[in-house]
């Protein structure tokens, strides 16, 4: 975005850094965490336009699910068994790393629960795909269970579903508490990461081998810049214009009701979802498919069509909250990639500009490990896996 002379509050002085990370969501914070862990002496600035988590990270449903945007049988159809398993394991490891590095013994404070997640079919054709997926997954050693209509009713409180599967190793969390806790972990580890909120990056200039990163409040100079701007990336760098697509998702939340759900649920080919928080509130999202043409761009408004569909879903499928008061309605901007997989690595035109994003509605399940993958490649620990690499989209 351009900046007027009048609004420019940046100082003349340029602040030297080793790395500037743009974007204070889960991807930027995760990247800062791993870079600092690998080298605590690195001088890193994490720069966020608004407050940390004000993008999709503070607006999602908090599912930490494995896999990707589609059922496993389709993932195998696209990538073959080996790569599909690699993709699945990448997100399983995301959860393992989150537990080991960040959550540790703070599960209760972070509303973290590792109780698995369900994928429910409203139609027989989807249930057949889910059963096929479960068979493939079992062969590959993934923990999954097929469940019938009655199980769904008693275990999830959901009605009018014909069958489903349970992925036993999934989890859920309060995403903003997780983000702030991650920031706290970075601060505990040292003082070389500086945090800059309400500070928009509006221009990146070349100065010799370095970049000068102009923000509303500062000028940073660094050899390496990481874009962790997900859906907003095309606004900052043209490279992303045909690779990352800003896509809106909408949600509503009800007042607390007595607990009735064993674990969070996806429905309708991972497009719609609902979960009950440990504190009793129910969060329901999805139905973007009803207004695909409207659900793009950068507005965080809600629309009547989708909010009504969410309410109808609640009335038709979740009797426990049929009468519950709706307390919140919101939306958020996600970054969808071309093929549904995240994109991590250097931009082809400049190997000092990096990107970590394109999580296609699954960043809580992917970003922590993606930040590690970026750090692994910068420190030459491991190359970036092919399905993640920015190179595949050139
Ligand atoms: C309604 C909804 C439900 C979702 N549910 C789930 C779920 O249950 N599970 C799951 O895994 N994922 C879910 N997601 C997706 C998940 O929220 C995202 O994949 C994840 O938060 C992306 O994190 P991020 O850090 O890449 O992006 P963001 O959180 O969007 O962070 C990018 C940040 O960059 C900042 N920024 C942009 N431009 C600039 C600039 N010029 N200068 C400085 N800062 C800038 C933005 O302000 C923003 O804070 C959902 C998303 C939505 C919207």
Q: CATH number, domain at 307?
A: 3.30.9.10
Which is the closest atom of ligand 1 to the Cα of 334?
53
Report the distance separating Cα 319 and Cα 280, nearest Å: 14
Which is the closest atom of ligand 1 to the Cα of 202?
41
Evaluate if residue 323 carries a pLDDT over 80.
yes
25 Cβ neighbours under 8 A, 6+ residues apart: 52, 53, 55, 56, 57, 58, 179, 228, 230, 363, 367
pLDDT at 266: 96
- Is 66 close to ligand 1, i.e. is its CB under 6 Å away? no
Question: How much distance in Å is there from the Cα of 239 to the middle of ligand 1?
Answer: 19
Angle at Cα 359 formed by Cα 354 and Cα 362, nearest 5°?
A: 145
Q: Is 182 left (phi over 0), alpha (psi -120 to 50) or beta?
A: alpha
Angle at Cα 201 formed by Cα 370 and Cα 216, nearest 5°?
A: 145
Q: What is the pLDDT of residues 191-210, one digit of tens each?
A: 999 999 999 999 999 999 99
pLDDT at 193: 98
DSSP secondary structure, 165-184, as one string: EEETT-EE--HHHHHHHHHH
Evaluate if residue 392 carries a pLDDT over 80.
no
pLDDT at 162: 97
**Tally of CB atoms within 10 A around 176:** 19
Q: Are residues 226 and 323 in the same domain?
A: no
Domain end residue (candidates: 310, 337, 364): 337
Q: Are residues 293 and 186 in the same domain?
A: no
- The residue-averaged pLDDT of 19-26 equals 98
- The residue-averaged pLDDT of 65-83 equals 92
Report the distance separating Cα 27 and Cα 368, nearest Å: 7
- Is 365 close to ligand 1, i.e. is its CB under 6 Å away? yes
Domain end residue (candidates: 337, 360, 379): 337
Is 261 domain-assigned? yes
Q: What average pLDDT is seen over the chain?
A: 95
Question: Mutate which of 170, 204, 232, 302 to test ligand 1's pocket (most atoms within 8 Å of Cβ)?
Answer: 232
Residue 117 has φ and ψ, to the nearest 5°, of -150, 155
- The residue-averaged pLDDT of 355-360 equals 96
Q: Are residues 388 and 257 in the same domain?
A: no
Question: Mutate which of 2, 21, 57 to test ligand 1's pocket (most atoms within 8 Å of Cβ)?
Answer: 57
CATH of the domain at 196: 3.50.50.60
Question: How much distance in Å is there from the Cα of 124 to the middle of ligand 1?
Answer: 34
The answer to whether the beta carbons of residues 212 and 220 sit under 8 Å apart is yes
Question: How much distance in Å is there from the Cα of 355 to the middle of ligand 1?
Answer: 14
210-215/201-207 β-pairing: antiparallel
Is 46 domain-assigned? yes
- Is 332 close to ligand 1, i.e. is its CB under 6 Å away? yes
Question: How much distance in Å is there from the Cα of 361 to the middle of ligand 1?
Answer: 9
Residue 215: helix, strand or coil by DSSP?
A: strand
Domain end residue (candidates: 337, 367, 382): 337
Question: How much distance in Å is there from the Cα of 30 to the middle of ligand 1?
Answer: 12
Q: Are residues 148 and 193 in the same domain?
A: no
User: Which is higher by pLDDT, 293 or 76?
Assistant: 76
User: Whose structure tokens read 């399940």?
Assistant: 365
- Is 275 close to ligand 1, i.e. is its CB under 6 Å away? no
pLDDT at 293: 85
Q: Whose C-alpha lies nearest to ligand 1, atom 34?
A: 23
Q: Are residues 362 and 302 in the same domain?
A: no
Question: How much distance in Å is there from the Cα of 337 to the middle of ligand 1?
Answer: 13
Which is the closest atom of ligand 1 to the Cα of 65?
11
Q: How confident is the model at residue 68 (pLDDT cuts 50, 70, 90)?
A: confident
Is 44 domain-assigned? yes
Q: Are residues 159 and 203 in the same domain?
A: no
Evaluate if residue 231 carries a pLDDT over 80.
yes
Question: How much distance in Å is there from the Cα of 152 to the middle of ligand 1?
Answer: 31
Is residue 371 within a helix (H) or strand (E), and if so which, with residue range? helix 367-378
Is 71 domain-assigned? no
- Is 27 close to ligand 1, i.e. is its CB under 6 Å away? yes
**Tally of CB atoms within 10 A around 188:** 7
- Is 32 close to ligand 1, i.e. is its CB under 6 Å away? no
Q: What is the pLDDT of residues 149-196, one digit of tens each?
A: 999 999 999 999 999 999 999 999 999 999 999 999 999 998 999 999
Evaluate if residue 12 carries a pLDDT over 90.
no
Is residue 232 within a helix (H) or strand (E), and if so which, with residue range? none
Q: How confident is the model at residue 394 (pLDDT cuts 50, 70, 90)?
A: low
Structural domain boundaries enclosing 363: 14-59+176-243+340-393
Q: Whose C-alpha lies nearest to ligand 1, atom 22?
A: 363
Domain count, the chain: 2
> What percentage of the chain has pLDDT greater than the value 70?
98
- Is 252 close to ligand 1, i.e. is its CB under 6 Å away? no
- Is 46 close to ligand 1, i.e. is its CB under 6 Å away? no
Is 197 domain-assigned? yes
Q: Are residues 118 and 233 in the same domain?
A: no
Residue 101: helix, strand or coil by DSSP?
A: helix
Question: Mutate which of 3, 22, 25 to test ligand 1's pocket (most atoms within 8 Å of Cβ)?
Answer: 25
Is 213 domain-assigned? yes
Question: How much distance in Å is there from the Cα of 164 to the middle of ligand 1?
Answer: 29
- Is 31 close to ligand 1, i.e. is its CB under 6 Å away? no
Is 268 domain-assigned? yes
Evaluate if residue 228 carries a pLDDT over 90.
yes
């Amino acid at each position: 975005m351009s900046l007027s002379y009048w609004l420019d509050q940046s100082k003349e002085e340029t602040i030297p850094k080793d790395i500037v990370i743009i974007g204070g969501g889960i991807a930027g914070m995760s990247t800062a965490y791993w870079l600092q862990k690998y080298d605590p002496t690195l001088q890193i600035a994490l720069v966020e336009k608004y407050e940390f988590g004000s993008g999709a990270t503070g607006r999602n449903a908090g599912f930490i699910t494995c896999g990707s945007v589609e059922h496993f049988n389709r993932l195998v159809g696209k990538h073959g068994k080996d790569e599909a398993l690699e993709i699945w394991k990448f997100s399983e490891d995301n959860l393992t790393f989150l537990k080991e590095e960040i959550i540790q013994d703070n599960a209760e404070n972070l509303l973290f629960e590792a109780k698995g997640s369900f994928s429910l079919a409203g139609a027989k054709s989807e249930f057949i795909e889910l059963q096929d997926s479960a068979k493939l997954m079992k062969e590959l050693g993934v923990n999954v269970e097929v469940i019938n209509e009655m199980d769904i009713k008693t275990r999830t409180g959901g009605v009018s579903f014909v069958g489903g599967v349970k992925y036993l190793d999934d989890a859920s969390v309060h995403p903003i508490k997780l983000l702030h806790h991650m920031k706290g972990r970075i601060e505990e580890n040292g003082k070389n990461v500086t945090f800059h909120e309400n500070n928009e990056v509006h221009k990146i200039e070349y100065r010799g081998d370095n970049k000068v990163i102009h923000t509303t409040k500062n000028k940073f100079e660094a050899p390496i810049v990481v874009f962790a701007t997900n859906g907003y990336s095309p606004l900052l760098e043209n490279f992303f214009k045909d690779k990352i697509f800003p896509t809106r998702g909408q949600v509503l939340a009800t007042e607390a009701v007595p607990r009735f759900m064993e674990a969070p649920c996806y429905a309708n080919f991972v497009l719609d979802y609902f979960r009950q928080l440990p504190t009793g509130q129910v969060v329901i999202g999805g139905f973007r498919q009803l207004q695909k043409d409207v659900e793009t761009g950068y507005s965080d408004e809600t629309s009547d069509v989708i909010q009504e569909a969410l309410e109808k879903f609640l009335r038709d499928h979740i009797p426990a909250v049929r009468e519950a008061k709706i307390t919140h309605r919101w939306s958020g901007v996600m970054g969808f990639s071309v093929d549904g997989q995240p994109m991590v690595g250097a931009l082809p035109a400049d190997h000092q500009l990096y990107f970590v994003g394109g999580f296609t509605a699954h960043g809580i399940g992917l970003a922590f490990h993606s930040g590690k993958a970026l750090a692994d490649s910068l420190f030459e620990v491991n190359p970036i896996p092919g399905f993640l690499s920015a190179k595949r989209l050139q």
